[in-house]
Structure 1
């Protein structure tokens, strides 16, 4: 085997090593991208739940206010009934 064959074989070996490294990097990057995608999905659901939670809290506060008003009206009515 001449020197050119050895150089060609070395170059082919280096190309093979580079391709293997690129494949490994691609696999790692694909896993990172999938993780980022799951993180984005989780963040989206967290925002949805946060919005629903705020809406439920507003509704709860409105209902509590309504109950207090009804209790106040009922106590006034009870006082009027006692007065007669």
Structure 2
């Protein structure tokens, strides 16, 4: 085996190692890409839930205001009932 054969074999082994490293990095990048897509999807859902929560809180405030308005009317009506029954 000549020196040229040894150098060629060494270069082939080195190229094989480089190919293996590239394949490992490609797999790792694929995993990172999937994590990024999952995070993006979760962020989109979080945004949707946040908007829904804002809408629900607004509706709850409106309902509470309506309940307070109705309570005020009940108080007024209760005050008028004794007056009406006294006639």
TM-score above 0.5: yes
Deviations 1:7-56 (A, max 9, x none): 11111110000000010011111111101111111111111111101100
Count of residues in correspondence between the two structures: 84
Q: Does 1:71 align with 2:71?
A: yes
Aligned CA RMSD, in angstroms, stands at 0.8
Q: Does 1:25 align with 2:25?
A: yes
Give the corresponding residue for 1:5. Answer: 5
Q: Partner of 1:15 in structure 2?
A: 15
Counterpart of 2:82?
82
Detail structure 1 runs of 4+ shifted over 2 Å in the superposition: none
Give 1:41-52 correspondences, 5 Å limit.
Answer: 41-52=41-52
Q: Which runs of 5+ in 1 are unaligned?
A: none
Aligned-partner Cα distance in 2 for 1:30–1:17? 20
Q: What TM-score, normalized by structure 1, do the two folds share?
A: 0.94
Q: Using the alignment, how far apart are the partners of 1:9 and 1:15 within structure 2?
A: 10
